[in-house]
Amino acid sequence: MVVFLLAMLNTGHVQQLENDATLPQGEGGEVEWEGVINAGEVSQDQLMKRARHYFKNDKEYSKAESINGGVKAVKTDNFFLNGDNAVRYKCSYQVAIEVKEGRYKYKISEMVYEQYPKKAQPAPLPIEATTLYREYRNLMAQGKHKSKKAKNSYSICKSTIRLIDELLEEMQTAMATEVAGTDDW
């Protein structure tokens, strides 16, 4: 076992694993997060109120609308990539919550990154997370994990994972908190 680890250190495989980031993918290969959360004995009506309340009270959500058995909205987050010249990105994605008696399902999809304009690039083009992730995985497969593009893509993927982990924690807290009163959706 020790010999195997030393061999990995000498061949650079450990470095490659450190620069690896994995994003979840749906059946068609698109980047998306999906899960079902058990809510105990909470009614479908109360879960719907909680979902609507969650979207309504978070200023980072827009375009909220009812869907069959739930609610969906678009969320926009910002993050910086560290380095000599920190780059600011906007990340927009759809969040849907479908509810049933005692459980709810979330789906986070349609993620798009857009670099904020700067002098050198006044109108940067948006890139879908699925496209960025495929390009990143191709670079990793070709052994180009040390390239600037792979490192930037890695940083974006890791930032995305942190953003979604925080979102899921916030969502689960909101969906576990009772909402009193009428549903003023």
Q: What is the CATH number of the domain that holds 30?
A: 3.30.530.80
pLDDT confidence of residue 4: 30
| Predicted confidence band of residue 84 (pLDDT cuts 50, 70, 90) | low
Q: What distance in Å separates the CA atoms of residue 130 and residue 90, rounded to the nearest whole number?
A: 16
| Domains contained in the chain, number | 1
Establish if 6 belongs to a structural domain: no
Establish if 158 belongs to a structural domain: yes
| Predicted confidence band of residue 80 (pLDDT cuts 50, 70, 90) | confident
b/e per residue 131-154 (b: at least 16 CB within 10 A): ebbbebbebbeeeebeeeebbebb
SS3 137: helix
Q: Note the residue count of the chain.
A: 185
Establish if 9 belongs to a structural domain: no
| Predicted confidence band of residue 58 (pLDDT cuts 50, 70, 90) | confident
Tell me the mean pLDDT in the region 166-181: 92
Quote the pTM value.
Answer: 0.81
Establish if 77 belongs to a structural domain: yes
Tell me the mean pLDDT in the region 66-74: 92
Domain of residue 131, residue span: 24-175
Tell me the mean pLDDT in the region 5-12: 33
* Token pair recorded at residue 22: 């994995």
Establish if 127 belongs to a structural domain: yes
Establish if 109 belongs to a structural domain: yes
Contact 95, 108 (CB under 8 A): yes
**Residue 13 pLDDT more than 50?**
no
b/e per residue 61-92 (b: at least 16 CB within 10 A): beebeeeeebbbbbbebebebeeeeebebebb
Q: What distance in Å separates the CA atoms of residue 69 and residue 129, rounded to the nearest whole number?
A: 27
C-alpha distance from residue 185 to each of 54, 121, 135 (Å): 11, 41, 41
pLDDT confidence of residue 10: 35
Establish if 48 belongs to a structural domain: yes
Tell me the mean pLDDT in the region 141-165: 88
Establish if 145 belongs to a structural domain: yes
| Predicted confidence band of residue 2 (pLDDT cuts 50, 70, 90) | very low
Within 10 Å of residue 18's Cβ, how many Cβ atoms?
A: 9
